[in-house]
Amino acid sequence: MEKVKILWSGITGRTGREAIELAKNSDTVEITAGLSRSNTNYYNYDELDRIKEDFDVIVDFSHKDSFDKVLDFALKVKKPIVIGTAGLTEEQMKRFEEASNIIPVFRGGNFRFDVKKFIDEVVEYAKKSEKESFDLNETHYKTKKVPSETAKVVAKRVLDETGKKVNINSYLEYDELINDWKVDNLECRVVGFKELAENVLEIAKMMKDKTPSGVYDLDRLLKEQELIDLHNFLIEAKKETYANETAPKVNPTRRGSRDYEYTKGNWTYHDTYFGGTDFQGQEVVYQQEDTPIWGMVYYGRTLDESLSEEAMDNALRPALMQVGQGDTIPVRGPKEFENQGYRYTFEVTGDLTNFEGEEIIKKENKKIYTLKCHGGMIRR
């Protein structure tokens, strides 16, 4: 895999210094150049046009006084930018929002994946609680600006999604780089800048191939990444189950069913179906062993009664092994496929979050089989 190349603005800051050390031992990212206001080992902000190193993404953790030059440069070279610079003015905020229609832009109140999990947990807790307001107590190192962006995000999301209020109580107590947030029994602590640098590097990788379409934040980025990961997992899982004639079945989960299962990491795919020449079934993808996140139901019919189940398997399986070809979403086979006199087609509308489709097999221009399916994401 080719490394994602990063131009880091604010390279001598605490996050930048941690990122340098992490990138030295990384197989996926590389910091190819840096920007600094004072360190002559790096480019300064009047030397942007002299940068000769190649890069894929700009990360800006500098100072608001340098921000405009960095954003103008990102627009000039048409590269994605990850913005972590604090204290931007309203005019600067407006500028990067406008820029997000020209280049991919990431700007969030939070860059840490653990903190995002905490924010999500607080929102879910607020939805289920009978309380109408909550106290968020945050305690930070003594030079931290409060209320923190994380606290503001929690308050806004809870208000937007539940109509309930979050009261932010901020305390500056720690001499070390420690940040704590707590809402009732939910809490989150982050220490130092190493984890922050790790997360920013991961965000930079995810932003590399994005298209300009409004400002990205961590919530949006992870939702889109989940779909990318699901897309790739489905292709792999389908090629390792029914479509593959050598794939073994697993123990049936329901009376009269035939079942396939494939697991990789935290992902599990399970396909259960009934019947032979005429059949119906359901596919489900799970995360973390028991959390269903995606599913599809299908019903197929053989229209030529002279064809056996074995004959239909021989016609259908080679087509389904082509899953993932072209731009067709990977829920059945490709848009078109021909094999040994059988012509397979699959028409599908929507995307992995919500779709419906129909596949057809013809022989000698005669329709001998049809299947309809629909499905999408599963949310609690």
The label of the residue with tokens 């600094």 reads 36
**pLDDT value at position 315?**
87
Residue 86 confidence (pLDDT): 84
Query: DSSP class of residue 162?
Result: H
What CATH architecture does domain 4-108+196-210 belong to? Answer: 3-Layer(aba) Sandwich (3.40)
- Residue 305 tokens read as 């009664």
Q: Please give the structure tokens belonging to residue 52.
A: 């000769």
**What contacts 127, CB < 8 A, 6 or more positions away?**
161, 162
pLDDT, position 32:
97
Question: Using CA atoms, how far apart are residues 145 and 243, in angstroms rounded to an integer?
Answer: 56
Amino acid type, 285: V
Q: What pLDDT, on the 0 to 100 scale, is given for residue 122?
A: 97
Contacts 24+ apart (CB under 8 A), 191-199: 192/18, 193/14, 193/15, 193/17, 193/18, 194/18, 194/22, 195/112, 195/114, 196/15, 196/18, 196/111, 196/112, 197/15, 197/16, 197/18, 197/19, 197/22, 198/22, 199/111, 199/112, 199/113
Q: Does domain 113-194 have CATH number 3.30.43.10?
A: no
249's tokens: 């079945």
Distances in Å between the Cα of 234 and the Cα atoms of 2, 285, 309, 348, 365 are 24, 8, 25, 16, 31
Which amino acid belongs to residue 335? K
Round to the nearest angstrom and report the end-to-end CA distance of the chain: 35
Q: Which amino acid is at 201?
A: L
| Strand arrangement of the beta sheet that strand 215-216 belongs to | 29-35, 4-9, 57-60, 81-83, 105-107, 215-216
CB atoms within 10 A of CB 242: 21
| Domain coordinates in residue numbering, the chain | 4-108+196-210, 113-194, 228-377
Q: Provide the strand spans (E) within the chain.
A: 4-9, 29-35, 57-60, 81-83, 105-107, 133-141, 165-174, 178-183, 186-191, 215-216, 258-264, 267-275, 279-287, 291-302, 336-339, 342-351, 354-363, 366-377
> With DSSP H G I counted as helix, E B as strand and the rest as coil, what are the percentages for the chain, rounded to 5?
30, 35, 35
Show the 3-state SS of 217-246: CHHHHHHHHHHHHHHHHHHHHHHCCCCCCC
Task: Find out whether 14 and 189 touch, Cβ atoms under 8 Å.
Answer: no
pTM: 0.77
pLDDT along the chain (380 residues), means of 10: 94 95 96 95 95 97 95 98 92 95 90 92 95 97 90 94 97 94 96 92 95 93 92 97 95 96 96 96 91 96 89 90 95 95 96 97 94 93
Give the pLDDT of residue 205: 96
